[in-house]
Structure 1
Amino acid sequence: MKEKICVDEDAYVEGNSDVEVDFGKVGTDKNDDYDAYDPGTDSDGANSWHSLEMKTPPNSEDELEEETESDEVFPVFREGARFGELHLEVGMKFKTKWDFKEAVREYTIQEGRRIRFNKNDRNRLRAVCKVKECGWVIFASKDRDDTCWQVKTFRDDHSCAREDKNRAANRNWVASKLVKKVRKYPNFRHCDANTFFKTKYDLSLNRNSISRALSDARNLVYGDEKAQYAMVRDYGETLLKTNPGSTVKICTIPQPNGDVIFEKMYVCLSGCKNGFKAGCRPLIGLDGAFLKTVFGGQILSAIGQDANHHIYVIAWAVVEVENTANWKWFLELLHADLGDYKTHGWCFISDMQKVHYC
């Protein structure tokens, strides 16, 4: 007994009553795949469909459900995109949670919006717009193989207005943008940084934020000044090793906990000393200048003049302050290196009366 089994208005299958019918397929072509029923695209009426198979939307936020296997190739986030060209999308993969978080930060600064992370744990991270009425949201979680983070939800539709002040532009972010500028322009100033962020990033930053970020950027380029003082003795040993016959004196102040504080340092290289004696005019200029560093201080110097009337550095010292005691200490060491000034007939010139008291 054969019967006709209706599948839809236009197709039917002929066979016995015990024959299985695949309601997910119509026709005989095994390669014909049909999408889930979509009322917006149905052309056969309200009672027809292409398939009974229910597929999970690609931006589903049900991160706890087992993910369906797919051969789809998802984009991988690449660092280094120019500001204004950063692009995020559903399915994009990130190596670490930190990479995803920083990419979201960069993207929100680029768009001029404020966000907050309302879900942040070991396996999930969700960011939403700070304006409650705005529907912008992005969500990412670890993939099932625990090898990367992947964007599962992204609604990139802001209903709020753009702002030129953004707390996402924190100290680390601002400093990272200033590193290249500081490396290229050593005298890059606060006003230059303010103009730079306003022009390129459309950001208005307060004075303290720029000052702290500039300090961090200089530390990244030139090194931490405090850490450099810990290498003063290594610096002195290197000078003595590479310039035999030189003089290096380092004075420190001991502390009860065993540490020491740098006080002053004197340097006279053998090449400078011998060169002055051999070919410079019998004239020594003495002067001091302020050091524009975090810890301040002053530098005392003894300068000669060569046959071409050019400045010739003889010796220098770094001290806390320019006073009689430090000038006396400096001149005593200079006298020991060069010899008696009366015997050689050297003349000293200084614009500071404190030197004559020594």
Structure 2
Amino acid sequence: MLLEDMLNHQTKIPTEWHTSIRKVGQKFDSAAEVRLALQYYSIAKRFEYDFYHNEQRHIRVYCRFKHTHGCPWMLFASPLRNLSIMSIKNFESTHTCGQHGENAGNLRASRKFIASQIQAVLKVRSDLRAVDIKNDMLSNFSIKINYSKAYESMVHATNTGSRVVIDADDRRFRRLFISYNAYIEGFIARCRPLLFLDGTFIKDRYRGILLSATGENPYQPPHRLIVISDADKGIRATIEEFFPDAFHSRCVLHLVENFKKNMKDFGHKTNVATTLDELLQSAAYKFTISE
């Protein structure tokens, strides 16, 4: 009981999290609501659980230490007959595993879950940083999350459906990929499949390369995917491997810059190289052979 009292008096964990799962016969509007209640409950009570044969509308979960420690905690919920309303059919609330701990329950704090907790905060704290989210989750709910999870959650909260992947090796940042959902939906719905790929060197103390992919121009489908980049061999090989049906074209800017450099390397004077450069750029924007 001492442990239960301590858990139930965590300073900032809402009281309703402790009672989100209560008894057999408790009803929920949907299976998603049951899963959310389980998240709240496990975080408040500091334990981990696993799904067993998890189905869309039949939810059966056990304490993670059922097999290793013989813990009896379990829950089974399914729909009421002919209704979408979910009901708890079986519930054993007792834990005997002794595996409650400071970080227990953290695994169920998904990015989507964290985003739901910070959406209201973002409305009044538009300057909220990932490190602030990390600290707030720890102080408010005793949930420890890493920086990358906090950052991904912030993107998800401000633009649901976005894709964020942070790659780290031995806790050292390697690379980051971001694709905002607004861009994804806009590209699919209103843009010709025309992608511009480019990169720029980062010259501050962190170095590295910033890569970008930009979609352009409204269209009426269907259209063939067109990728425009510089003459990088790696990009060309990757496009051939993953997008074999795509048309790969050279970027005019890079083409002209390389041409100008080659003219100087061949010994042409600057004024001659500039004139040829302008002629090539002009020709690149013509629509017919005669032009």
Question: What is the TM-score with the length of structure 2 in the denominator?
Answer: 0.48
Higher relative contact order (CA 8 A, sep 6+): 2
Give 1 or 2 for the bigger CA radius of gyration.
Answer: 1
Point out the structure with the larger helix share.
2
